[in-house]
């Protein structure tokens, strides 16, 4: 069985990660960059739910959309839901500076992933990966904060990994797998009806 979905994102890196992972489940993905303004909210789930509700007014195909963030323990979870703004303003170099005197460098990445159907349901999945912020940037791959994040269980930063390797650890891959398992069993049930 083949399924086709759109991924609403302006971030090509996110799209390539999702495309590779969902292909394993037989789900084909197309990137659509809709200009949806990210609302301010206290959690990634709330942000992605509001974005998905906006998308439902515009798109006619079934879609996924993801909102992600980096949460640093010694900064009480900052930048969290403000990750996009922080990346655009001070970047990962700014984060390294903020942490320069701090010994606790633990952090996690989180993804809230929404799946929406124009005439059906809206469902949210999430994924988290724990790790540490490195003392210097390493690697050329990936995007965003990847050069300064090393997941637990690896000596490499996300930016030193291929997409396949990052997908073994990442917050996004976990959320996507949870979504894909649910989606495939739903499709199977529909086929049997
Ligand atoms: P869309 O909203 O168009 O999907 P975005 O890049 O704005 O793309 P987010 O709001 O979800 O995505 O991400 C917030 C910030 O966190 C942004 O600067 C990203 O580059 C960064 N980020 C998200 N996922 C990441 C990942 O897997 N690795 C490194 N940085 C990531």
- Structure confidence by residue, pLDDT tens digits, 78-135: 999 999 999 999 999 999 999 999 999 999 999 999 999 998 889 999 999 999 999 9
Closest-CA residue, ligand 1 atom 22, reads 144
Residue 106 pLDDT: 98
Active site residue 42: no
Residue 120 CB neighbours (<10 A): 11
Find out whether the beta carbon of 69 lies less than 6 Å from any atom of ligand 1: yes
- pTM above the 0.85 mark? yes
Both tokens of 81, joined, read 């839901």
Q: Above 90 in pLDDT, residue 191?
A: no
CA of 120 to the centre of ligand 1 (A): 27
Q: Above 80 in pLDDT, residue 22?
A: yes
Give mean pLDDT, residues 132-154.
Answer: 98
CB 68 within 8 A of CB 40: no
- Domains of the chain plus CATH, in order, are 3-192 (3.90.950.10)
What is the full DSSP assignment across 12-57? HHHHHHHHHHHHTTTEEEEEE---PPPPP-SSHHHHHHHHHHHHHH
What stretch of H or E contains 132?
Answer: strand 122-133
Find out whether the beta carbon of 172 lies less than 6 Å from any atom of ligand 1: yes
- How do residues 156-188 score in pLDDT, each as one tens digit? 999 999 999 999 999 999 999 999 999 998 887
Residue 8 pLDDT: 97
């Amino acid at each position: 069985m083949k399924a086709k979905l759109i991924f609403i994102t302006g971030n090509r890196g996110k799209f390539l990660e999702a495309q590779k992972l969902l292909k394993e489940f037989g789900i084909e993905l197309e990137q659509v960059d809709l200009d949806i303004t990210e609302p301010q909210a206290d959690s990634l789930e709330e942000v992605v739910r509001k974005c998905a509700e906006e998308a439902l007014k515009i798109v006619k195909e079934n879609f996924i959309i993801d909102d992600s963030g980096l949460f640093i323990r010694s900064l009480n979870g900052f930048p969290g839901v403000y990750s996009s703004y922080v990346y655009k303003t001070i970047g990962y170099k700014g984060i390294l500076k903020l942490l320069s005197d701090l010994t606790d460098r633990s952090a996690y990445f989180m993804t809230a992933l929404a799946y929406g159907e124009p005439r059906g349901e809206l469902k949210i999945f999430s994924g988290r990966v724990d790790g540490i912020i490195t003392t210097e940037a390493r690697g050329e791959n990936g995007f965003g904060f990847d050069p300064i994040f090393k997941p637990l269980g690896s000596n490499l930063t996300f930016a030193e990994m291929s997409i396949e390797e990052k997908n073994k650890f990442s917050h996004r891959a976990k959320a996507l797998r949870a979504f894909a398992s649910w989606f495939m069993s739903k499709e199977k049930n529909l086929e049997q009806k």
